[in-house]
Structure 1
Amino acid sequence: MGKFVFIRNKYPALPGAYIMRDSSSKVLYVGKAKSLRSRLSSYFSSPKDTKTTALISKAASIDFVLAKDEGEALILEQNLIKNYLPRYNILLKDAKHYSYLAVTSEKFPRLLTARKNSSGEFRIKGKRFFGPYTEGSKREVSARFLRKLFRIRVCKTLPKKECLQYHLGNCDAPCTGRVSEEEYLANVDSLISFLEGKRGTSSPIFSSLKKRMEAASESMDFELAASLRDQMDALKIIFAKQGVERLGRLDEDYLWFERVGDTLYVQKLRSIHGIISGSEKLSAKINSQEEPEIAFCMQHYEALPDRVYSNLPSSAMRKLNSAFSSPSNNAAPLASPPDTGSPHPSSDEGQSPSHSSSKEVFRKPPKSKSRILALAQGSLVRGEIAPSVLELKEVLGLSSNPVVIETFDISTLFGESSVGSMVRFSNAKPDKSNYRKFIIRETSGQDDFAMMGEVVRRRYSSLLKDGEPLPDLILIDGGLGQLHSAMSTLSSIGVSPPIISLAKREEEIYTSSSTKPIKLPKSNSALKLLQMCRDEAHRFAISFHRQRRGKKGKS
């Protein structure tokens, strides 16, 4: 286990955060625990995955900081992660590549693209920041278009005479006084309103542009009036393309989380002032010791919207609400500006921000919002989860996608040198680091059913002992007999994950809920995935069996 010698009693059975360092005192990993003693003991009590094993092998010391409760430990953990950026912690994938739009704080502000540095600080000084947006994001407006639309200057320093952008009609030349500071800042305010999501023909941005256009016409400034009219027409085209939909007054995020192997995928839809105005797909590498969804939220949000709807379990949302409502946490809900032109939301959609409690920011969506969360789910799974996995979910009627499938097979020759195999597929691809071999020890003779029961019990008893998650689906190579043996074994150890079997001769699928098999066309992608899993488990078992027989023949 490396240079570090773990002494269990050195660590208290109290909540807190712990810091693992290497021999040069560089921080490798930061974690939190309800009981530091129990959590740290788990690292050294049994074999772990490759990543955790590598972490422990490099650890030379483990320090800790006590907290008053688990919620404070969570905040402490995230603050330490942001400070140290440890190699083995969950970090937003390519976080430095996420871009923001920044309105600068200059006398005549500019609109720039901004990114954060490795310390999480913006590289430029700005008055307002909007985002983040992913690289290649399919937003219908770009910084370049917005500059033209709102006539925002692009020059780094104000020139002494009008530049080409003025002559092209893209800038009003505040540098030479062609437009007053007041008029220029009115354009900037319209830009900010647009980026805040105040869209639609009755929104403040249209009202403002219309009033300015009418005033310009009355004063016979027809050039300005025409310019403002063109801006309104361009905005109407954008809105028609987007097909935006009003949802209510609150600023809301919709998060759908999905684990695929060692990666956490997050689809985020943002509703600002009742309009779906953004969609982002994020990802992060996860560690088996972490609660990755909670860690993601703690790192992602520096300031909260009024509501965050997600598919997280209630226990996770309680932790997040507690953590973000703590005075020691810097994040706070964003207050929505008054919107007297919009009706008050119904009780089903929550109170206005001034009457809401930050403790209830993370919620399950009400019925009126659940389809928006379903949109987030659909956007994510279509992009990241293999089509054969999605098809298998539909065929079997599962409640979640069978991303992780573990398949079992037995290989024996008249009851001699009997072995079992387990192969794991993650998102329709072999995950060979998680393959397992079993020497049959408890079953004698030619009893395939008992052998199958033995390897299934040994596999999942071990997972339960180590606190590891069960697979999304278990596949047994065989018919009803093998399936029932495995089901009985799982029941005896108190677990009931989805389980099926695939019979070789007719390629029939048996489920735990019916004795009638499911027959799929040969071309069906779900069947092909199951066959691939079954054949790989068979190959792995045969190879190990031959190896065992070869050793026995030499002895």
Structure 2
Amino acid sequence: MREADLPVLPAQPGVYLFKDAPGSVLYVGKAKLLPDRVRSYFDQASRRAIPKMGHIADEAQRLEFITTQNEVEALLLESNLIKQYRPPYNIILKDDKQYPFLAITSEPFPRLVLTRRQSKDGKRHFGPYPEAGAVRRVIKLLETVFPIHTCGEPGQHPKKHCLYYQMHRCSGPCLGAVTPEQYQALFAQVEQVIKGDIDQVRERLQEQMRRAAQDMDFEYAATLRDRLQALERIGGTRQSAIQLGTEDLDVLGVALAGEYAMVQVFFFRRGRIIGRDKRLMQGARDAPSAEALTRFLMEFYGQATSLPGLILVPEPLEDQEAPTAFLSQRAGKQVELRMPQRGDKVPLLEMAMHNAQAGLESEIALLMRRGENPALAELQQVLKLPARPVRIEGFDISNLFGEHTVASMVVFQGGRPQNSQYRRFRIRTVQGINDFASMYEVMTRRHSGSLAEKTDPPDLILIDGGKGQVGAAKKALHELGLDHLPLVGLAKREEIVILADGSELLLPRESLALRLLQAVRDEAHRFAIDYHRRLRDKGVAKSVLDDIPGIGPKRRHLILEEFASLEELYRAPLEALAKLPGVGLETARRIKEHFGGPGSGGDKPGFSIEPR
């Protein structure tokens, strides 16, 4: 697999799955930031340090990803996916396929331990986790929050206090400073946090910190503050998926862009996420997302071998009774379609929606990278073009109080800008402000003479403007016998597409076709403004050069051709000016002295340059 074949990854935590050509999972990994972690598999230094990374990337044919709210959620999701797929490159599988657990022992003074098996000796188990290091990190974090002992089983009272007790990191069961009952109560709080219920523990720590501050025990108050901060890190990274008890359900998320829609479904069994599936659908332009959901329900669950009793959807379906009856018949039991408004299931729905959007954007970006820009297909459809508009030319007019009127032409090939094919035009036949006449001139010049001979004809012409500008361009094309060239305009304020016949087309805001037209229009506007500023600067420079002795029309023209702006002229070295034909060292020195620029010996410039 090449790095260029990777999907576009959002800068978020999540889980990634390397797959081979038949679609089997080769490796499941987690990441704090998906792009950074996945790209490391293609970094030569990383591949030399860990050869396995190179083997995975070389054998893989594609990569999928699932975003999560945080890294710990990614850790737990990674665990479930590794258990489901048993990928050959995940190290955990080599340890007798036994996943590590976090356990609380049943001793009078319990401990947090790592174990490979769920024994029946009274331990309370939590997990499993994908690898032992994850369990150790969780234990270390819990030891930061709670004053639990880290040594072996407490024995006889030692003669002196240990360092952990002095630092308030241990409650001192070895010293008899805490009873077994008190210590059991402490571990009840530990268990609450492991399960994700931190509210009561937070309130208790906050109250203890307030009391310590009131008693002027600021050292202990600072310790409690640090524990609260550690607790907040745990609370901010818990996995919402484990808060479902033993419930079985599927969660659907949907996203639309142009003619494409993506539905992602997450499978939760006995309160844990066990997998995910997704479908990219075409023909969704102008269709409501509920229609895409209904189509997915009918097609996907029509082939499913088992269904849960509850399916969460992000919005009600138009005709929910029919799909519900169909699903119930398929499942042989009552299936409920529900859109949660509040409660612990809302975050699950948000996760599915977020992943559907990220997945759709990734798929579209990948299509564009491969030259299969979906916006072009949508443009062909909405504008009823005979072929996909591979070459799009955008035009804009720019002027300032009727002076230095210019036009720009930008070219997009396959949806991407082609800077080498951009063109600028100085309007010759128009006096004052007349955008319509200016557009007529530039369209005539573009499609006649040497420019028309040297460049390919466009598949679509886009005008930055409304009906007047489009009408002027249409008139020029008609007189040249080019009525067959597709022509549209895009008004700035309303973002309405103006067709050649003057009719209007309003595209949805999420339309890929509209996004591409906006990109072409904005680039044409930027290019025209840039050219106009350069001409304006040259106009000012011309008046400045007229005041310098020895600078006639020829030398002035030569200098203005060499330097695009006043700032360039001001900052030019003396030697660069002197090398210009017909200028020489003495004339160059007079220019620099007049401007007071670098190399003149003056302290201040003779004119100001406004920053842009």
Q: TM-score range by the shorter chain?
A: 0.3 to 0.5
Q: So what's the TM-score if we normalise by structure 1? A: 0.32
Structure whose alpha-carbon radius of gyration is higher: 2
Q: So what's the TM-score if we normalise by structure 2? A: 0.30
- By relative contact order (CA 8 Å, sep 6+), the higher-ranking structure is 1
* Structure ranking higher in helix proportion: 2
